Structure 1
Amino acid sequence: MKCAIYSRKSKFTGVGDSIENQIQLCKEYAMKTFNLSNEDFIVYEDEGFSGGSMDRPEFKKMLLDAKFKSFNMLICYRLDRISRNVADFSFLIEELNNYNISFISIKEHFDTSTPMGRAMMYIASVFAQLERETIGERIRDNMLQLAKDGHWLGGICPTGFKSTCIKVEDEKKKIKKIYNLESIPDEIRTIGLIFNKFLDLKSLTQLENYCMEKNIKSKNNINFSPITLRNILTNPVYAVADLNIYNYFITNNYSIYGHKNLFNGKHGIMAYNKTIQKKNISNKLRTPSEWIITIGSHKGVIPSEKWITVQNILSQNSFKSFRRRKSSQALLSGILYCKNCGARMRPKIGRTNKNGLKSFYYICENKIKSKKSHCSIKNIQGNELDKTLLENLKVSFQKNPIFIEALCKSDFTFTRTKKNSDLILLKNIIKKKEFQIQQLVQSISYSEEESIRKYIFKEIRTLEEDLNKLEGKYKIMYDKFTAQSDKFNLDDLADTIGNFHKLIDLLSNVEKISLINSLIEKIIWDGNIVEVIFMGSNIKNNSYKKDC
C-alpha cells in the first residue's frame, strides 16, 4: 500500500504546525494504523502557498499522481491544509473517489472510506469556508466605517493627486492621523487632456500613440500604456460627485455609501474595495457591485457627464472588440529588442506569398507608436530571420562542441516547467499513436467487410497496448524529471542542446517558441546585425547579419 502525505503552510514562521511537524504526525498515524514503513510514503510539500487556491505546484503534482494511481490513500494533518474553499475541496474528494483513493485528516479523525467520515468531512469544509468569508465580511465592514469621511487610505496616489496628512482629535481625545487627497495642478492638466483627447479619438491605442507623439509622459516620466490610460479613464476619483453620477452608479449596481443629498457637485468620488489584492499577483478589479462608492474630501476635476460618456465609449469598444488568437508564426516575439531605444520588436503581418505563407516583419514598438519620432530603426524581415536563426543554431549546437561546453559551464539554468528533449520527443510519439488510433476508428465506419474490420480492431488493440506502455514510460520520466532540483545538471543541458537539430523540426511553432525561450535570453537588432544572448550566460553570437 502506498500512502501520500500532503502538507502546506502559507509562510515559514518557525512556529506552529510546520511542514516537518505535519509530515511526522501523518507518518506516525499511518504507521500505527496501517502498519506502514518509511518506504510506503510519498510526500508533497507546499510552503508559502495559500489554501484559498489550488494553484500550488506540489498539490497539482499530487493530483497528477492520483490520476495514475501512484498511491492508495491521502493523509493530511488538518483539513484546511488541503483547501479552505468548499468547491475546491469537493472537487478533490470527487477526484479521489473516482480513483478509489481514501482521504484521511488525522486532526479531525475523518476517513472518507466510511459514509460517516465523508459526511463529516463536508461539514467541516463548510465551516472552514465560513471562517474565510467571515474574515472577508469583517474587512468590508471596516472599509464601510472608513468610507464615512472619504479619506485616502494609503497606497500610491492617483495621477493628479498627492496625499496630505492631517492630525485630528478623536472622541477619546487621542490624536490620530488622517490623509486627504490634494490636487497637483500640472498633473491635473494632463488628466484633463487625456479625457478630452479620448473623447476625440475614442481609442486607447490612438490615445497612447498621441501621448507618445506629443511626448506626454506619466508622473514617473515613462510613456503611457493602454492599461495605464484605461485605469485613469475609469477611475471615479476624478469625477465630480453630483446627482448625475449618483444615478449612474445606482443604475450600474455600484454599492454607494452616503445619502443622495451628499452628491451636490462640491467634491470628488472615492472608491474603496476596487481590487482583489494577492501576494505576488497583479491586482485585479472586482465587479462594480463589490466597490464601495462614497464622497471624497477632495474636489472633482472631470464633469460627471464627460466621465460617464468616457465609460460608455470604453464599454462599447470592449463589446465590439474580441480577443484575436495570438499568432505563433513569429518565433522571436517577446525576446527580440531594438538596440536603438530598448523597446521590443513586434511582428506585423504583411502579404501572403505565392506559396500561401504570410510574410511578416519585426518592427520596433516605439517606432510604430511614436510615428518614427522616438525611433527610426530599420524593420527586419521576420520569416527570413526566424529561418536563419534556427539554421544557425542547428549548426552551432551540432558541429561546435566547444560552443556547447562553454554554454554548459556558464551559469545556465532551466526551470522545472521546461521539458527536456526526451520528454518532448516521447510526447510527440504518443500524439502520433493517438492520431493513428483515431484514423483507424474512423475507417471502421467505412468498411463493411468483416475480415477487414477484424484486422482494423487488431491493429487498434496493438496500438493501444503500445500507447499504454508509452504513457507509462512518460509518467516515469516525468516523475524523475520533476523530482530533480530546479537546476538541471550539465548532462541534461548538453542533451537538450546536442539534440536541438533533431528536436526542433519535430515541434509545433508553440513548442519551438518554448524551446527557444529556454535557450535564449534576448536578441538585439541594431539595424544591421542581430546579436543573440543565451540564457544566464555571457555567451553572445553576432553571426546573424541581415541586410533588411
Structure 2
Amino acid sequence: MKFAIYSRKSKQTGKGESIQNQIAYCKNYITSRFGTEHMIHIFSEEGFSAKNQCRPQFQNMMLLAQQKKLDYIVCYRLDRISRNVGDFAMLIEQLSKWDIAFICVQEQFDTSTATGRAMMYMASVFAQLERETIGERVKDNMFYLAKKGYWLGGTFPLGFVSKRITENEHSYCYLVQQQSEIKIVQKMYAFFLEYGSLSEVKRQLEQCKIYSRLGNVFSITAIKEILTNPVYCKGDTVARQYFLKKGADVTFSEKECSDKCGLMVYNKRNYTKKSAPRQNIKYWIVAIGKHQGIISGDVWVSIQKCLQRNSIKNEGHKTENNYALFSGILYCQKCGEKMQAKKRRNQQKIITFDYICKGKLQKKCCDIQNLAGRQTDDEIETLLLDYIEKNNHFCDIWQKWKQQNIQYDNKEWLYCQRQKQNYIDLLAKQNMSNILLAEVNQKIEELTRQQYMLQNQKEIWEKNQYNMIDKHTFSDLWKYLTIKQKQEAIRYLIKKGIWNGNTLQIFLNF
C-alpha cells in the first residue's frame, strides 16, 4: 500500500510536537496496523497556518492523491490538516471520490469507517471554533485600544511625536504636536485649498524651500499621504458622518465628537505587503485620539472629495507605457533627471513619441534637446541584438537572467516567511493589549498565498522549456517577446543611457 504522511507546525519553536515527532508517531501507527512493507511519502512544512489549504507541501500531496498514487493519508492530529470545517469537508469528500482513506493518529479517526468520518467532522468543528475564538479575541483587543485613542507605534506622522504614559500597570503612547512641523502640514493644506493640485502644492513647497524631515523635497506621493491622513482631521460630526458613509467602524458616538481632538485610524494599511498599501476604508477602525487635530472635518472631507475627483479625471489620461522600450533607464547629462517618454503627433499626424528630460518637462529647469523616441528605440535595439549575437553573450545572459529571477522569487518567499512568522509570534502572545493585530489570520493567509504564487513562478523558471531556449538565436527569441517582456529584458541588459543633447551613451550590464 501507498501512504502519505502529512506533518505541519505553524511556527518553529520548541513548543508542541515537532515535525519529526509527528512523522515518527505516524510511521509507528502504520507499522503497527499495516506492517512494514509499504511505500511512504513524507510531506512536512513549518510556518504555515491551517486556516486554508494554500500550503506548498499540502498541495504537492493532493496532487499525488489526485493522480491516485495513494491509498491512505495519515496525520498526527486533525488540526495539522485543517481548522476550517468547509475545507475539511470538501477534502474528505474529494479523497472519498479518489478511494483514499484519511487517518488521524492521535484522535484515532479513520475515514474508512462511517463512525470515523462522523467523529472527524465533529472534531473539525471544534478546531474551527478555536481559531475563530482567537480571531475574536484579537479583534476585541483592537477595539479596546481604538476606543482609548492610543498611538500603537511606527513612524510618527509629520507634525507629531509620541509621549508615553502608564495606566493600570500598562504602558501606552499618544501623539503630541511638534509645532515646527505642524506649520508645514498647515501650509500643505492651505496650498491645496488654494490651488486644488498636488503638483502645484509640490511646486509651492519647493519655492518656499520647505523640505521633509530628512531635508528632501516632498514628493507628490508624500504630499497626498499627508493630505489624506485622518490623524490631522478633527473628530467632529462632519468627519464622523463621512467615515460612517464609507462603511468604516466608527468607535465614538455623536455626543463624543470633538472639535479639538484629532482622529486615530487602526487597520488602515495592509502590512503583509512591502509597500503597506492602504486598505479600503470599510476595513478601518476610526476613533477619537488623545492628540489635538488641526483641520476641521468639513475642510478635510472637502479635500478628500477633490482628490477623488482629480483621481477619476486623471484615470483617462493614464495609460500603460507599452510603446517606449527604454523608458526609465535614460538620463539627461545636463541636469541628471530621467528622460520621460511622451507621445505626440508628427507633421503627418502620425502618433509617435519623444524622450524628454523630466527637469525640462515638469520643473522647467532644463533646456536640453528632446530625443526622438521611435528612432532611438529602433537603432539601440538593432545595435544591441547585433552586439549580443556577435559576442556569443546570449546563452550566458539568458542563464543569468533566469537565475536572477529564481533568486528574486526565493528572496521574496523568505521575506513573506519572516513576515508571517512575526504575525504567528504575535498571535501566540497571551497579553495582547498593547498590540494592534487586525485580522491576523487573514494576513497570514495572504502571505501564504503569496508564497504559493512565488513557488509556482520559481518552478516555471526551472522548467525545461527555458533551458531549451539556447537552440535559437537571440533575434529569433526577441521577435516573440511582448513589449513588456522586451522592456524587462532591456532593463536587465542595459544599466543606463546618458543623453547630452547630441549623442546617447549606453552602459551595458555585462
TM-score by length of 1: 0.65
Query: Aligned runs of 1:161-200 on 2, under 5 Å?
Result: 161-166=160-165, 168=166, 170-171=167-168, 174=169, 177-200=171-194
What is the CA-CA distance between 1:186 and the residue it aligns to? 2.5
Q: 2:495 maps to which residue?
A: 522
CA offset digits 1:404-448 (Å, max 9, x no partner): 6986998993333999xxxxxxxxxxxxxxxxxxxxxxxxxxxxx
Relative to structure 1, the CA distance from residue 416 to residue 302 in structure 2 (aligned partners, 3 Å threshold; closer, same or farther) is same
In structure 1, the partner of 2:477 is 503
For the residue of structure 2 that corresponds to 1:275, the secondary structure is: coil
Give the deviation of 1:347 after TM superposition: 2.9
| Structure 1 equivalent of residue 383 of structure 2 | 392
Find the aligned partners of 1:393 and 1:353 in 2 and give their Cα distance.
Answer: 30
How much does 1:302 deviate? 0.9
Residue 413 of structure 1: aligned partner: 403
After TM superposition, give the deviation of residue 153 of structure 1 in Å: 2.1
CA distance in 1, matches of 2:139, 2:233: 24
- CA deviations over 1:106-162 (Å, ceiling 9, x no partner): 356667777777776666555444433332322232233334442322221111111
Hey, what's the Cα distance between the residues in 1 that align with 2:355 and 2:72?
Answer: 51
How many Å apart are 1:381 and its aligned residue?
Answer: 3.3
The 5-angstrom pairing of residues 194-343 of structure 1 reads 194-208=188-202, 211=205, 216-278=210-272, 281-318=274-311, 322=315, 326-334=320-328, 336=330
Q: Which amino acid aligns with 1:351?
A: R
Shift of 1:505: 0.9
SS at match of 1:395: helix
**Superposed displacement of residue 163, structure 1:** 0.9
Preserved CA contact (<8 Å) 2:270 2:276: yes
Q: Does 1:372 align with 2:372?
A: no
**Unaligned stretches of 5+ residues in structure 2:** 410-454
Distance 1:34 1:363 in 2: 75
Q: Which has the higher contact order (CA 8 A, sep 6+)?
A: 2
For 1:35 and 1:483, how far apart are their aligned partners in 2? 39
- Secondary structure in 2 matching 1:151: coil
- Structure 1's 239 and 355: CA in aligned 2 closer, same or farther, altered over 3 A? closer
Total equivalences in the alignment = 460
Q: Contact between 2:494 and 2:506, CA under 8 Å: does it hold in 1? A: no
Q: CA deviation at 1:239?
A: 1.5
1:256 and 1:337 map into 2 onto residues whose CA distance is 48
Q: Would the aligned equivalents of 2:3 and 2:74 in 1 still touch at CA under 8 Å?
A: no
SS in 2 for 1:182: strand
- What secondary structure does 1:504 align onto? helix
Q: Give the share of equivalent positions with the same residue, in percent.
A: 36
Q: Distance in 1 between matches of 2:74 and 2:65?
A: 18
Q: How far off is 1:54 after superposition?
A: 6.2
Q: Is the 8 A contact 1:151 1:178 kept in 2?
A: yes
Partner of 1:360: 353
Do the aligned residues in 2 keep the contact of 1:339 with 1:525 (CA within 8 Å)? yes
CA distance in 2, matches of 1:147, 1:303: 21
Rounded to whole Å, the distance in 1 between the matches of 2:508 and 2:61 is 37
Equivalent residue, structure 1, for 2:104: 106
Which residue identity is paired with 2:479?
D
Report what 2:506 is aligned to.
Answer: 531
Aligned pair 1:482/2:473, yes or no?
no
Conserved? CA contact 1:256–1:292, under 8 Å: yes
Residues 88-99 of structure 1 aligned to structure 2 (within 5 Å)? none
Which residue number corresponds to residue 512 of structure 1?
A: 486
Closer/same/farther in 2, CA of residues 9 and 338 from structure 1, 3 Å limit? farther
Residues 14 and 38 of structure 1, relative CA distance in 2, 3 Å threshold: farther
TM-fit CA distance, 1:293: 2.6
Query: CA separation of 1:288/1:407 partners in 2, compared to 1, >3 Å: closer, same or farther?
Result: closer
